[in-house]
Amino acid sequence: MSKPRAYSVKAYSTPGAQSPLATFSISRREPTDNDVQLEILYCGVCHSDLHFARNEWGFTQYPAVPGHEIIGRVTAVGGKVKKFKVGDTVGVGCLVDSCRTCPDCRAGLEQFCPEMVMTYGSTDRHLGTPTLGGYSQGIVVSEEFVLRIPANLSLAATAPLLCAGITTYSPLRRWKVGPGQKVGIVGLGGLGHMGVKFARAFGAHVVLFTTSPGKSADAKRLGAHDVVVSKDEAQMAAHAGSFDFILDTVSAKHDLNAYINLLKRDGNLVLVGAPNEPLPVSAFPLIMRRRSFSGSLIGGLPETQEMLDFCGQHHITSDIEMIRMDQINEAYERMLKSDVKYRFVIDMASLK
């Protein structure tokens, strides 16, 4: 199979871990028969973008273009594309390809495919070059990895659903969170605020855990029934052994055992935050109450579409702060200080 031709688009890129992002020209492939080409309208800013740009995970190839919460308008489709047409509003999340044949792919769990191709930081199967993300004017993606966006949702506020949304929706659905259950959400950031919204929409009694007493009113506005300040031992002790499920969205060092002790028998603590260093877990709190501790990674394409449709039905979007493309370096520094409510989204028209 011959390589497709490439064309140039403007993007925000960094040439190295210590360099700020700035305007560069990058190459995209011309659409193949099964591809969808889109003009990017909005791109969310995920903490993973910062990790990747600064090579904090150790696999970044430069020049690097972050961005995997993409909302765009279809500008061209390949000859065999059936699901989309020019003018459609669509989304692209963390994945742009996979092997399509392994057990994970056949189960609609492409995020676990050993050959998954991430929106950035992988290798484009067609060009043989590193994949480049959504901080750009346009992108070309295989039809199977493009998602429909409900017409009633704000496009900018929908962008973070493609990562923060599915990351929190998936474990809540997998562990069948619903009415009659007491559910905890640890942390009120980009992930946590979506966890609160989804858990409330699923009908659970929602408790937000935070180290910041000042976040109580906002947590309740977002849907939490109660707020617990996790540094207050008396508040934590009052909830011992009472939770069916806890979703931990914190990426900093913290005490997992304090939350395991809050679970009922057979309760689950699921980690979706990604701390940089290992966190100790004591055996006896798990063993003595048959509790479970596990992790979860975004979601496959079928579940991501289900999540978007659910958001359309329940009018759920992310709380965002819109920025221009040239504000991204400042946004990264603010993100490190948790100075955003609750997700930055780039207006990609500002790149023009």
Instruction: Identify whether residues 332 and 188 lie together within a single domain.
Output: no
Q: Say what percent of the chain tops pLDDT 70.
A: 99
Query: Position of tokens 């497709």?
Result: 4
Query: Any residues with CB less than 8 A from the CB of 166 and at least 6 apart, and which?
Result: 93, 298, 299, 303, 304, 307
| First vs last C-alpha separation in the chain | 34
> Which pLDDT belongs to residue 276?
78
Does some domain include residue 224? yes
Q: Say what percent of the chain tops pLDDT 90.
A: 94
Which structural domain, as residue segments, surrounds residue 226?
164-295
Does some domain include residue 311? no
> Which pLDDT belongs to residue 57?
87
Q: pLDDT by residue (tens digit) across 264-308? A: 999 999 999 988 789 999 999 999 999 999 999 999 999 999 999
Q: With CA atoms as reference, report the closest residue to 283 among 266, 260, 263, 262.
A: 260
> Which pLDDT belongs to residue 201?
98
Q: How many CB atoms lie within 10 A of CB 30?
A: 15
Q: pLDDT by residue (tens digit) across 193-235? A: 999 999 999 999 999 999 999 999 999 999 999 999 999 999 9
Does some domain include residue 303? no
> Which pLDDT belongs to residue 83?
96
Instruction: Identify whether residues 52 and 144 lie together within a single domain.
Output: yes
Residues 244-253, mean pLDDT to the nearest whole number: 95
Specify the CATH number for the domain of residue 123: 3.90.180.10
Angle between helices 301-314 and 164-174 (to 10 degrees): 100
The identity of residue 83, as a single letter, is: K
pLDDT at 4 over 90: no
Does some domain include residue 60? yes
Instruction: Identify whether residues 284 and 328 lie together within a single domain.
Output: no
Does some domain include residue 301? no
Instruction: Identify whether residues 200 and 282 lie together within a single domain.
Output: yes
Q: Answer left, alpha or beta for residue 177, where phi above 0 means left and psi between -120 and 50 means alpha.
A: beta
Instruction: Identify whether residues 11 and 140 lie together within a single domain.
Output: yes
> Which pLDDT belongs to residue 275?
84
The count of domains in the chain is 2
Instruction: Identify whether residues 10 and 130 lie together within a single domain.
Output: yes
pLDDT at 15 over 90: yes
Instruction: Identify whether residues 241 and 176 lie together within a single domain.
Output: yes
Residues 140-152, mean pLDDT to the nearest whole number: 98
Query: Position of tokens 């689950």?
Result: 268
pLDDT at 1 over 70: no
pLDDT at 126 over 80: yes
Partners of 308 in beta bridges: none
Q: How many CB atoms lie within 10 A of CB 279?
A: 14
Query: Any residues with CB less than 8 A from the CB of 229 and at least 6 apart, and which?
Result: 210, 211, 212, 213, 235
Instruction: Identify whether residues 175 and 216 lie together within a single domain.
Output: yes
The Cα–Cα gap between 164 and 177 comes to 18
Query: Any residues with CB less than 8 A from the CB of 334 and at least 6 apart, and which?
Result: 340, 344
Instruction: Identify whether residues 336 and 242 lie together within a single domain.
Output: no
Instruction: Identify whether residues 143 and 223 lie together within a single domain.
Output: no
Q: With CA atoms as reference, report the closest residue to 67 among 89, 94, 98.
A: 94
Mean pLDDT of the chain: 96
Instruction: Identify whether residues 89 and 126 lie together within a single domain.
Output: yes
Render the burial of 41-69: b for 16+ CB within 10 Å, e for the rest.
Answer: bbbbbbbbbbbbbbbeeeebeebbbbbbb
Q: With CA atoms as reference, report the closest residue to 121 among 144, 96, 152, 102.
A: 96
Residues 42-56, mean pLDDT to the nearest whole number: 95
DSSP assignment of 123-141, as one string?
B-TTT-SB---SSBSEEEE
Q: pLDDT by residue (tens digit) across 151-181? A: 999 999 999 999 999 999 999 999 999 999 9
The Cα–Cα gap between 309 and 314 comes to 9
Instruction: Identify whether residues 155 and 16 lie together within a single domain.
Output: yes
Tokens of 304: 């991501």
Backbone angles phi, psi at 64, to 5 degrees: -110, 135
